[in-house]
Amino acid sequence: MSNVYTIAVLVGSLRKESINRKVALALADLAPANLKLTIVEVGDLPLYNEDIDGTSPPAAYSTFRQQVSSSDAVLFVTPEYNRSVPAPLKNAIDVGSRPYGKSAWSGKPGAVISVSPGAVGGFGANHHLRQSMVFLDVPCMQQPEAYLNGAGSAFDEAGKLSESVRPFLQKFIDAYGKWVEQHKKE
């Protein structure tokens, strides 16, 4: 019998009704039994500043680091802003990587899905994020790559996932479940 792994899901868009958040919630619904996905909020984190991250860091930093550290793996769901990741997501990555030598990310199996209403599906953001994960010692799932383009039509007006998108997300989250199982440090 498989273990159940806790997955910290970081959504790069801050809008409550963002397409990215909807995709994250859809992935949680589609997840195999060995994954429990929980969104870890990034919007309340003060911009990373080493001057305020001393012996008494902001409570938001400590809470965020604890949530990521206590998870078994990480999943990033991100839009693309100017061919890169949104500032709140990059800030969260920086907060979680500090203090030096105590990164919350290290060794956690990861995956990235980029979501965009545009034609290229957030390709630039996806690959920028992967570059950061290499440095942070997050073994990122390579296949299947996940770029959801035309995401404006991924959900109907009632918020229900389109049947045309469901198989794509199912294939991705099933593969990620296997990835976590294979790469989770004990």
Closest-CA residue to 103 (of 68, 78, 76): 68
Question: Looking at residues 153-169, what average pLDDT do you find?
Answer: 92
- Give 64's Cβ-side CA count (13 Å radius): 27
Residue 1 pLDDT > 60: no
Q: Which domain holds residue 110?
A: 5-183
For residues 116 and 124, is the Cβ–Cβ distance under 8 A? Answer: no
Task: Specify the DSSP class assigned to residue 140.
Answer: B
pLDDT of residue 186: 60
Per-residue pLDDT band at 117 (split at 50, 70, 90):
confident
Calpha distance 81→13 (Å, rounded)? 10
Residue 180 vs residues 27, 88, 129: alpha-carbon distances, Å: 15, 25, 18
CATH of the domain at 113: 3.40.50.360
Residue 101 pLDDT > 50: yes
Task: Compute and round to an integer the Cα radius of gyration of the chain.
Answer: 16
Work out how many domains the chain is built from and give that number: 1
For residues 13 and 19, is the Cβ–Cβ distance under 8 A? Answer: yes
Question: Looking at residues 30-34, what average pLDDT do you find?
Answer: 97
Residue 120 pLDDT > 90: no
Calpha distance 107→26 (Å, rounded)? 26
For residues 11 and 39, is the Cβ–Cβ distance under 8 A? Answer: yes
**Residue given tokens 């080493």 in the structure block:** 50
Of 24-28, 63-67, 79-83, 149-153, which range is least confident? 149-153
pLDDT of residue 2: 65
pLDDT of residue 159: 86
